[in-house]
Chains A and B, each alone.
Chain A
Amino acid sequence: MNSSGILSVVTFVYGIAAFLYLVSWIFKKKTPGRLATWTAYAALIGNITGIGMRWAESYQLGYGRAPLSNLYESLIFFSAMIAAVYLFVEKKYHNRVIGAFTMPLAFLAIAYASLSPSISDRIQPLLPALKSNWLIVHVVTCFIGYAAFTIAFGISIMYLIKERDLAGKNAFLDQFLTAPELDELNYQMIMFGFLFLSVGIITGAVWANSAWGRYWGWDPKETWSLITWFVYATLLHARMTRGWHGRKIAYLSVAGFAAMLFTYFGVNLLPGLHSYGAM
């Protein structure tokens, strides 16, 4: 079986993991929860194996390049990063309900890659412009940041639901972390994501300078990554010095996530230099 085959199976495993997380939350059962965690680990390991195999296959084809250069490859890397960041959070906070709100997003990312007819999973050789050591560090840091923002988005949605039921009447919500805990975790994730987004933008700038002789050129992808950065920077300032908490922060986190999605997908609809991401 080649890497695309493995990744199709992994897509299915992600679907099961997401389903089990939802079941364990809705029916409040421990066993599906435990199973969900194991399935998520299996999906992550399979996902990373698939990426590794794709890398090896590119050598067999004589291209020899990291599998991080088009939309298919970025999506499968994105799902791995979402799963990895989520499993880290689960280990640290011992709460599986967050999985019900974030693993479906990892599933969506990889399902989009595997199932969309418009996304090719063929291994193509690298364009001259992408032949650089900066490619790996730029893409990896950006997607760790994206994954953290995605988890923060899931947590923000949980916060917005939880916060309407502070009295604790709704039995579906009693497994949630408390509202202040969700708020704090949201903030922690955003700081983590902001650091990686900053490093991603910076490595991209250094790369652009070595490829095109300019570290910043206001092309749509660059500009949208900066817009995302501005939104999260606003959030951090509002929180750190103006004491914003809770709902306002959750809304800003959702807005930041929307900007991030546009940076990732929407920009491909606009003209610019970053068109590799659309192929």
Chain B
Amino acid sequence: MNSKQQSSFTLNDIFSFFASVRLTVIVLLTLAVTSVIGTLIPQNQAHEDYFDAYGEVLYRLFSVLDFFDMYRSWWFQFLLLLLVINIIVCSFDRFPAAWKIISGSPVFQLSRFQKSSCQRKISIPSSFDNLQTHIEKTLSGKTKKIQIEHEGERYWMWGEKGRWTRIGVYIVHLSVVFLLAGGLIGSFFGFDGAVNIPEGEAVRNIRLFNSGKLLGLDFEVRCDKFSISFYETGAPSEYRSTLTILEEGIPVLTRDIIVNDPLSYKGINFFQSSYGTLPSQNLILSFRSTASGMEYREKISPGQTVTIPEGLGTFMIKAFNQDQKFMGRSIGNAFVGTLTTNGNEPVEVILPIKFPNFDKMRKGDVIVSVAESENRYYTGLQVTSDPGVWVVYTGFILMIAGCIVAFFMSHQQFCIEIKADGASSAISIYGIANKNKIAMKRKIDMIAEDLIKSLRQL
């Protein structure tokens, strides 16, 4: 018996710990402060870079604290979980009382009105008729319906509106639960990866970001064409890929995608994220002999070696660079080859596609350049699937709606007391609002002015 009481006491303790707004304030501030860390330390970089940047001691410390991937760390996730538990427990703790008010029917409680800080008294000649009609007119729009109570010489006209708005804060809290639930669904059942597809080729496998593993899709994606357009300033204006979805080799859908306009198929989204150039497999090189002035053209593939006439040696294509650097500046796409002449050390020759005369600078016996090449683009796609996204979007809508209700709408009650007092009637105007008392005070003043004005006109 005793031990049972003991345990229920601790349960209560735990409950009230989670139901406290003090916890909310602490967790929110802790989240705010700790979130800063991940913006100062670049996230998910190579560990060598961290080691170089912070030194051994800090590197070890940060590593233990998961600062290099802190938003996915156990302690940050724990804080988020704590916030959600706090929100849920708080809401369960308070909602029944709020619901009682929301679902209950209004009861006239004079004492509550009399205690309100929003009140005003005016006095008018009691010779008036139609006073009730005037008051009804003044209150219209401020209350749903007006009820009347009598007691001896006094009567009260009262009404209210916005009882339901007390639900606003619960909608906001529910929205946060939706956001984190959606995020959780996404991290369990979704994926995020990337794939490069050369023009004209189709792929089935994508590389996942987190694990680095390959994921096979149950359809193929082909890149029919990739193109870039530029503004007059030379800045890129649009990256466009034409994609075709193939089901068992049969095209089922062809569409262009650009940045901000992805393709969705079977819940999987393809985003334009990068591009690049693939070297031509068959190119024609030009060799111009400086001695004879003759130009020789030879077909070559990367990795292959050709012999140059006039005994000028052999040439091999060893690499292709998309962003070849020369004297610290980028000269764009370039093949890199090796020229071997009899009795000499092999020399490296750079063949930028944009600058055919580049090799003249070397001042060798032969000037090499790319005469023809069919370089292809490949498109870089980000591939994602997130079944939780609609839960998150529902959360977004709930949050906006909930904030509007919770901040700008209130439960407002009005009561006007009329008391015949000899030649004049004493009128007291009372208002109660669960939010924004200053606005309520102003409303009560407006009602008073309205009444005085409309009575003066008679």
CB of B38 within 8 Å of the partner chain: yes
- Give the Cβ gap from B304 to chain A, nearest Cβ, in Å: 38
Chain A residue nearest to B236 in the complex (CB):
A128
Chain B residue nearest to A213 in the complex (CB):
B384
Chain B residue nearest to A228 in the complex (CB):
B32
Asked if residues A125 and B235 are in contact (CB atoms below 8 Å), the reply is: yes
Contact of A188 among B24, B259, B404, B436 (CB under 8 A): B436
Contact of B231 among A125, A224, A226 (CB under 8 A): A125
Complexed CA–CA distance, A267 and B39 (Å)? 8
Chain B residue nearest to A199 in the complex (CB):
B400
Given contacts A215-B392, A227-B32, contact A125 B237 (CB under 8 A): yes
Q: Which A residues are CB-close (under 8 A) to B384? A: 213-214
Complexed CA–CA distance, A202 and B401 (Å)? 13
Asked if residues A202 and B258 are in contact (CB atoms below 8 Å), the reply is: no
Interface mask (A203-229 → B, CB under 8 Å = 1, otherwise 0): 001110111111110101001101100
CB of B260 within 8 Å of the partner chain: yes
Asked if residues A216 and B28 are in contact (CB atoms below 8 Å), the reply is: no
Q: Which B residues are CB-close (under 8 A) to A237? A: 21, 24-25, 28
Q: Which A residues are CB-close (under 8 A) to B39? A: 220, 223-224, 267, 270
- Give the Cβ gap from B193 to chain A, nearest Cβ, in Å: 10
CB of A231 within 8 Å of the partner chain: yes
Asked if residues A223 and B35 are in contact (CB atoms below 8 Å), the reply is: yes
Asked if residues B236 and A234 are in contact (CB atoms below 8 Å), the reply is: no
A-B contacts counted at CB < 8 A amount to: 121
Chain A contact patch, size range: 35 or more
Complexed CA–CA distance, A205 and B259 (Å)? 15
Interface mask (B21-64 → A, CB under 8 Å = 1, otherwise 0): 11011001101100110111011000000000000000000000
Chain B residue nearest to A241 in the complex (CB):
B21
Complexed CA–CA distance, A218 and B39 (Å)? 8
B397-434 at interface with A (beta carbon < 8 Å): 399-400, 403-404, 407-408
Complexed CA–CA distance, A194 and B36 (Å)? 20
Q: Which A residues are CB-close (under 8 A) to B392? A: 205, 215
Contact of A234 among B32, B40, B235 (CB under 8 A): B32
Asked if residues A213 and B269 are in contact (CB atoms below 8 Å), the reply is: yes
Asked if residues A128 and B237 are in contact (CB atoms below 8 Å), the reply is: yes
Given contacts A205-B396, A214-B192, contact A238 B237 (CB under 8 A): no
Asked if residues A212 and B382 are in contact (CB atoms below 8 Å), the reply is: yes
Interface mask (A23-49 → B, CB under 8 Å = 1, otherwise 0): 000000000000000000000000000
Count of B residues near A, CB < 8 Å? Answer: 52
Asked if residues B403 and A234 are in contact (CB atoms below 8 Å), the reply is: no
Q: Which A residues are CB-close (under 8 A) to B35? A: 223, 226-227, 230
Asked if residues A128 and B28 are in contact (CB atoms below 8 Å), the reply is: no
Q: Which A residues are CB-close (under 8 A) to B269? A: 213
Q: Which A residues are CB-close (under 8 A) to B271? A: 211-213
Q: Which A residues are CB-close (under 8 A) to B260? A: 128-129, 131-132, 207, 210-211
CB of A192 within 8 Å of the partner chain: yes
CB of A174 within 8 Å of the partner chain: no
Asked if residues B22 and A242 are in contact (CB atoms below 8 Å), the reply is: yes
Interface mask (A119-152 → B, CB under 8 Å = 1, otherwise 0): 0000011011101100000000000000000000
Asked if residues A210 and B262 are in contact (CB atoms below 8 Å), the reply is: yes
Asked if residues A259 and B231 are in contact (CB atoms below 8 Å), the reply is: no
Asked if residues B259 and A128 are in contact (CB atoms below 8 Å), the reply is: yes
CB of A12 within 8 Å of the partner chain: no
CB of B324 within 8 Å of the partner chain: no
Chain A residue nearest to B231 in the complex (CB):
A125
B87-130 at interface with A (beta carbon < 8 Å): none
CB of B273 within 8 Å of the partner chain: yes
CB of A184 within 8 Å of the partner chain: yes
A161-219 at interface with B (beta carbon < 8 Å): 180-181, 184, 188, 191-192, 194-195, 198-199, 202, 205-207, 209-216, 218
Asked if residues A218 and B408 are in contact (CB atoms below 8 Å), the reply is: no
Q: Which B residues are CB-close (under 8 A) to A212? A: 271, 273, 382
CB of A233 within 8 Å of the partner chain: yes
Q: Which B residues are CB-close (under 8 A) to A271? A: 42
Asked if residues B262 and A213 are in contact (CB atoms below 8 Å), the reply is: yes
CB of B239 within 8 Å of the partner chain: yes
Complexed CA–CA distance, A241 and B38 (Å)? 31
Complexed CA–CA distance, A241 and B20 (Å)? 10
Complexed CA–CA distance, A26 and B404 (Å)? 38
CB of B238 within 8 Å of the partner chain: yes
Given contacts A188-B436, A214-B384, contact A127 B400 (CB under 8 A): no
Asked if residues A184 and B393 are in contact (CB atoms below 8 Å), the reply is: no
CB of B292 within 8 Å of the partner chain: no
Contact of A191 among B237, B382, B393, B408 (CB under 8 A): B408
Q: Which B residues are CB-close (under 8 A) to A213? A: 192, 262, 269, 271, 382-384, 386
Interface mask (B365-406 → A, CB under 8 Å = 1, otherwise 0): 000000000000000001110100100110010011001100
Complexed CA–CA distance, A205 and B393 (Å)? 9
CB of B233 within 8 Å of the partner chain: yes
Complexed CA–CA distance, A38 and B277 (Å)? 60
CB of B455 within 8 Å of the partner chain: no
Complexed CA–CA distance, A214 and B271 (Å)? 10
Q: Which B residues are CB-close (under 8 A) to A198? A: 399-400, 403
Contact of B25 among A62, A227, A238, A270 (CB under 8 A): A238
Asked if residues A233 and B28 are in contact (CB atoms below 8 Å), the reply is: yes
Asked if residues A218 and B71 are in contact (CB atoms below 8 Å), the reply is: yes
CB of A265 within 8 Å of the partner chain: no
Complexed CA–CA distance, A180 and B238 (Å)? 54
Contact of A127 among B32, B232, B235 (CB under 8 A): B235
Q: Which A residues are CB-close (under 8 A) to B233? A: 124-125
Q: Which B residues are CB-close (under 8 A) to A88? A: none
CB of A59 within 8 Å of the partner chain: no
Given contacts A224-B39, A234-B32, A241-B21, contact A124 B438 (CB under 8 A): no
In addition to A213-B262, A227-B32, A270-B39, 11 A-B residue pairs with Cβ atoms within 8 Å of each other are: A63-B231, A184-B437, A195-B407, A198-B399, A214-B384, A218-B43, A227-B36, A230-B29, A234-B24, A237-B21, A271-B42
9 closest cross-chain pairs (CB), A and B:
A230-B32, A213-B384, A191-B407, A220-B39, A128-B259, A132-B260, A125-B231, A234-B28, A241-B21
